[in-house]
Amino acid sequence: MARERLYLFDTTLRDGAQMNGVDFTLADKLTIARLLDELGVDYVEAGYPGANPTDTSFFAERRPLKAQLTAFGMTRRPGRSASNDPGLVALLDAQADAICFVAKSWDYHVRVALETTEEENLASIRDSVRAAKARGREVLLDCEHFFDGYKSKPAFAVACAKAAYDEGARWVVLCDTNGGTLPHEVERIVAAVCAKTPGDHVGIHAHNDTEQAVANSFAAVRAGARQIQGTLNGLGERCGNANLVSIIPTLKLKAEYADRFEIGVSDEALGRLARVSHTLDELLNRAADRHAPYVGESAFATKAGIHASAIVKEPATYEHVAPERVGNRRKLLVSDQGGRSNVLAELDRIGLAVDKNDPRLGRLLDEVKEREAIGYAYEAADASFELLARRLLGRVPHYFDVEKFDVNVEKRNNAKGEPVTVSQAVVKLKVGEEVVISVAEGIGPVNALDLALRKDLGKYQSFITGLELTDYRVRILNGGTQAVTRVLIESTDETGDRWTTVGVSPNIIDASFQALMDSIVYKLVKSGAPA
Ligand SMILES: [Zn+2]
């Protein structure tokens, strides 16, 4: 039987960005958009052009994605024409494939918040959809507070959805904006809407205020909706939005949905899901939820004892899906079989295939385990893992030694008598027989150290000219009685490759130094610099 297409609409960069403590830069947004595109979502809603400088610059140029890049904004204001509403004009000018309008669909809100009539609200929906269609955009309408609106005045709520659909909107999206609707209500109301508007034009946008945003999304699909809106890791205002990281594997791995529906996420992309989820956490500089369904570190962890021996014999005895399907791993505290096969697969991937009985493999596993126990994070720091593996397997040339470094932070008055803080680093390197001393000033001590380290690498300098640091993240970990600092550095080079390195120390400069060194050595290895 042919499966029906179900569409995924991601709003991490719009609704997700409204979460407390989430503040995406333009670079973050571009990184996440790319991540979502590789994952295979159908729509990436990237923001609200005109509302803030980041979103405006995001939509100022064409951002080539496979997904429909979607701009969000309001329908025309009451009492104005579409061409005479600056907000709407900015939205229509945005470099986007699709436009998602938000409009009231609760009579109470129309009266109290908009202070206008129901007729004018419907006219605003029609005019806005028409204007966006005329500009060649695919159009979606988010019906704000739809479920509360339906409970208050069903005919009006449905008329709002219908107005957009009749005018040619590809999707009308029923939003549980307050997040208080329960799954059985969602199922009943979505079914009623789908009786009037074809379900393959109906979407669901659920918030998590009763911890049921994912369940509400599935309830809507059961009732006929064919688009699910959500965010990575359930980011979003208040308690968050429906979590696509939980929805995607359920759609792909549970027969109830997998047999009936097809989504844009391939099996191979599903296998990277845990990585995608953790990448977002790293970008936000927050610890990943260990207990997150499917992707959490503990999602497939089984304690020692009878469970563990049973799970080794037959994983299905204790696992509802195979962890590898979502890029996670089985964790057993008695033997690290999962770790071994993961590491073997990773070594294979980076071209360092070793025999599974090679004693060096055991040493590498022990080393990773020991280092992770003191705070290193190799899952996030792919390049540091690769260097560790290459070192243990004896395949990293000895490029240079750092004989010493010195970092100095000084607060003083400048020539105009104003207080300034100046950071300066001095690095003494030995490159072959050559001794190189470099001095650099930077915005802060780490920046100064980075500049000094990369200023002169002697005969290797030409190999690192394209190296650039793109991100620097610090987390204080509580390792027993003493706090340690973990630094993750993301680098890129002239080929567009990106890699992450890690350093751990009680001293932040030292942790940063380790991560900087790994990045430089990784770049030298990658560029094939001779020993
Ligand atoms: Zn929302």
Calpha distance 277→267 (Å, rounded): 16
Residue 338 has pLDDT above 80, yes or no: no
Residue 308 has pLDDT above 60, yes or no: no
What 3-state class would DSSP assign to 219?
helix
Q: 141: CA distance to ligand 1 center in Å?
A: 12
Q: 333: CA distance to ligand 1 center in Å?
A: 40
Q: 373: CA distance to ligand 1 center in Å?
A: 39
Q: 177: CA distance to ligand 1 center in Å?
A: 5
Residue entry with tokens 């959805």: 161
What tokens appear for 468 in the block? 């650039």
CA dihedral 375, 377, 383, 387 (to 10 degrees): 50
Neighbours of ion ligand 1 (CB under 5 A): 15
Size of the chain in residues = 531
CA dihedral 308, 313, 314, 320 (to 10 degrees): 20
247 vs 392, residue with greater confidence:
247
Residue 193 has pLDDT above 80, yes or no: yes
Q: 261: CA distance to ligand 1 center in Å?
A: 25
Which of the four pLDDT bands, split at 50, 70 and 90, describes residue 331?
low
Q: Quick one: three-class SS letters along 394-416? A: CCCCCCCEEEEEEEEEEEEECCC
Average pLDDT, the chain: 91
CA dihedral 376, 378, 379, 382 (to 10 degrees): 140
Query: What residues contact residue 417 under an 8 Å CB cut-off, 6+ apart?
Result: none
Calpha distance 79→156 (Å, rounded): 19
- Cβ burial 368-381 (10 Å sphere, 16+ → b, else e): beebeeebbbbbbb
pLDDT at residue number 336: 47
pLDDT at residue number 16: 95
Query: What residues contact residue 125 under an 8 Å CB cut-off, 6+ apart?
Result: 75, 101, 103, 141, 160, 163, 164, 167
pLDDT in tens, 41-86: 999 999 999 999 999 999 999 999 999 999 999 999 998 999 999 9
Contact 488, 514 (CB under 8 A): no
pLDDT at residue number 334: 40
> Phi/psi at 115 (nearest 5 deg)?
55, 50
Q: 38: CA distance to ligand 1 center in Å?
A: 24
What tokens appear for 420 in the block? 């300034």
Amino acid at 226: R
Neighbours of 34 (CB within 10 A): 13
Q: What is the pLDDT averaged over residues 92-120?
A: 95
Q: 145: CA distance to ligand 1 center in Å?
A: 9
Calpha distance 518→372 (Å, rounded): 16
Query: What residues contact residue 80 under an 8 Å CB cut-off, 6+ apart?
Result: none
CA 268 to the chain's CA centroid: 17
Q: 495: CA distance to ligand 1 center in Å?
A: 38
Contact 27, 470 (CB under 8 A): yes
Report the range of poorest mean pLDDT among 46-55, 494-503, 508-517. Answer: 494-503
Residue 198 has pLDDT above 70, yes or no: yes
Calpha distance 19→25 (Å, rounded): 14
Q: 514: CA distance to ligand 1 center in Å?
A: 42
Q: 104: CA distance to ligand 1 center in Å?
A: 13
Query: What residues contact residue 484 under an 8 Å CB cut-off, 6+ apart?
Result: 374, 375, 476, 477, 504, 505, 506, 511
User: How big is the CA angle at 276 (ends 272 and 281), to the nearest 5 degrees?
Assistant: 150
Q: 25: CA distance to ligand 1 center in Å?
A: 20
Q: 78: CA distance to ligand 1 center in Å?
A: 22
Report the range of poorest mean pLDDT among 65-74, 248-257, 342-351. Answer: 342-351
334 vs 123, residue with greater confidence:
123
Calpha distance 418→114 (Å, rounded): 51
Q: 12: CA distance to ligand 1 center in Å?
A: 10
What tokens appear for 302 in the block? 């089984």
Report the range of poorest mean pLDDT among 22-31, 240-249, 298-307, 469-478. Answer: 298-307
* Percent of the chain clearing pLDDT 70 (strictly above): 95
Q: 317: CA distance to ligand 1 center in Å?
A: 38
Residue 339 has pLDDT above 80, yes or no: no
Q: 491: CA distance to ligand 1 center in Å?
A: 34
Instruction: Give the pTM.
Output: 0.73
Which of the four pLDDT bands, split at 50, 70 and 90, describes residue 304?
very low
Contact 128, 76 (CB under 8 A): yes
Residue 509 has pLDDT above 60, yes or no: yes
Neighbours of 494 (CB within 10 A): 10
Q: What is the pLDDT averaged over residues 190-196?
A: 97
Report the range of poorest mean pLDDT among 13-22, 164-173, 216-225. Answer: 13-22
